[in-house]
Amino acid sequence: MKYLACFFLLIILTPSIMSQTIASAEYDAIESEVIEWRRHFHQYPELSNREVNTAKYISERLKEMNIEHETGIAHHGVVGVIQGGLPGPTVGLRADIDGLPVVERVDIPFASKERTNYLGEDVGTMHACGHDTHIAMLLGAAKLLKSKQKMLKGKVVLIFQPAEEGAPPGEEGGAKLMVKEGVLEKHGVDVIFGQHISSGLDANRVDYKIGGAMAASDRFVITVKGKQAHGSRPWSGVDPITVAAQIIMGLQTVVSRQTELTKEAAVISVGKIQGGVRNNIIPEECELVGTIRTLDVGMQEKIHADITRTATLIAESAGAVADVDIQIGYPVTYNNPELTRKMIDTMYKTAGEDNVRVVAARTGAEDFSFFAQKVPGLYWFLGGKDPAAAEATGHHTPDFYIVESGLLLGVKMMCNMTLDYMNMGQ
């Protein structure tokens, strides 16, 4: 009788024990497949809201894994569901899937040669931010978690999200549209995890931050209206280009002299200036387009007001008019403190404590933030740099490069975050 009781106890406990474990051999067996998937996505990138073939390839792989899924979410998003055999929470895992209008310069056999149309221009297309690795790592995690389906204590929702880099003007897209379409509510997502490969962080390392991890990103357009004149007689008009130059310099003082940088970092950058058609004509208008990065809501509101005041008054002092349009973009990417603290041991276990570090917030932005506004979220950075390389290649550049030796850690992070959270008895 004593042995029979022990036998039944073992049966009861076995799913709980086994659900926490994916063997090293299982991870090793999937690595080559993850790399193969990554190379396919890298070779055939597609821009935001245009990820038709990318979504089709993801769907095909999920079908091979017998994972139920939907397509056409927020245009070209794919959402898969793995319903575990035991009751428990619903864990969302997210990967972004779009590329960028960048011509690749990296000398690799699977370099992108794709070209497409972007805002009326013929452009090259490249996964210049690592989203190809994100998709492949999530597919790898999906395959392994599916193999443990009967022992999972809850449900896994696989979110392959389009348009993280921003929908084209006049279109909706990305995480914001997925949230608007109700993807989290429909599947009852309790928490969500995400990761971003980093070309500046050595492979097999992990960075994270509690609270605000990445900045809010807002776009501004300043239209300076002057008075057209002949270039030889500037005094007969109002030169909007000169005024625009003064506004650009004035905007730098918003951060350097009017913002409390000891509280949080902030950035204002003008990325585009456009005005005029000929060398000898002072135009009537000049347009400035730029980005605002903030890590605090109060500072965000103040900087918006400071930009409007600075541009308006500088223009007025020269007899011009400045119309300021600030478009709210991505919120701060916020790592839920309670969730993050719960999962620190999982990071240590997965990557090794010496390979995990807490870092300062980054002024880059991520629309994972829209998911994390709705449910507790945790977003970390995964190393993708060759440790032997002297310099890192920048994201969003033609030379962006990721070593594939760090991808397996990303698969392990996704799996272990899911399994450990489920086994916390939430």
Would you say 126 and 45 are in contact if contact means Cβ atoms under 8 Å apart?
yes
- 3-state SS, 209-278, equals CCEEEECEEEEEEEEEECECEECCCHHHCECHHHHHHHHHHHHHHHHHHHCCCCCCCEEEEEEEEECCCC
Q: What is the rounded CA–CA span in Å between residue 65 and residue 79?
A: 14
Tell me which amino acid residue 2 is.
K
The catalytic residue among 26, 31, 284, 404 is 404
Q: What torsion do the CA atoms of 148, 149, 154, 160 make, to the nearest 10 degrees?
A: 100
- Count other C-beta atoms under 10 Å from residue 72's C-beta: 11
Would you say 140 and 34 are in contact if contact means Cβ atoms under 8 Å apart?
yes
* Beta strand spans in 47-143 (E): 68-73, 77-83, 86-96, 115-118, 121-124
CA atoms within 13 A on the CB side of 398: 7
- Count other C-beta atoms under 10 Å from residue 365's C-beta: 22
Would you say 286 and 275 are in contact if contact means Cβ atoms under 8 Å apart?
yes
Take residue 289 and report the two structure tokens written for it: 């387009």
The catalytic residue among 57, 208, 330, 379 is 330
Q: What torsion do the CA atoms of 187, 92, 84, 353 make, to the nearest 10 degrees?
A: -160
Take residue 258 and report the two structure tokens written for it: 């009017």
The answer to whether residue 404 is catalytic is yes
Take residue 249 and report the two structure tokens written for it: 């310099």
Q: What is the rounded CA–CA span in Å between residue 108 and residue 126?
A: 13
State the catalytic residues.
Answer: 330, 404
